[in-house]
Amino acid sequence: MTETTVWIAIGVTAVGCYAVKLLGLLVPAGALERPLVRRLAALVPVALLAALTAQQTFSDGAELLLDAKAAGLGAAALALVLRAPFLVVVGAAVAVTAGVRALTG
């Protein structure tokens, strides 16, 4: 990919983001008060974050893999199921990931 192509892609993305933001501002307030729209607005960011986390954890860009990041995510999930505070969840994920990396070299 050439440098020009990268800058064109950045420009198109910036214009697209601005257009989406502008469209959001043009939506009538009544449409945003519907229960379905409110529910979707609450769930879409969670779904996107979960998809990003899964992609970053189980993929290196070309193939599926299970490594220390997967173990850390599992520890965080277990801490969430046990209703641990947020800092404990993060700490468990970090500790397990570091431990698995130390053991596997």
Q: Determine the Cα–Cα distance for residues 48 and 41; give it in Å rounded to an integer.
A: 12
pLDDT for 33-52, tens place per residue? 999 999 998 999 999 999 99
pLDDT in tens, 58-68: 888 788 888 89
Helix (H) or strand (E) holding 63: none
What's residue 72's pLDDT? 95
Q: Pick the residue with more confidence: 57 or 81? A: 81
Is residue 31 predicted with pLDDT exceeding 90? no
Cβ neighbour number for residue 64 with a 10 Å cutoff: 7
Quote the radius of gyration of the chain (alpha carbons, Å).
Answer: 20
Q: Which residue has the higher pLDDT, 65 or 91?
A: 91
Lowest mean pLDDT: which of 1-5, 15-19, 60-64, 100-104?
Answer: 60-64
- Dist CA 19 CA 83 (whole Å): 40
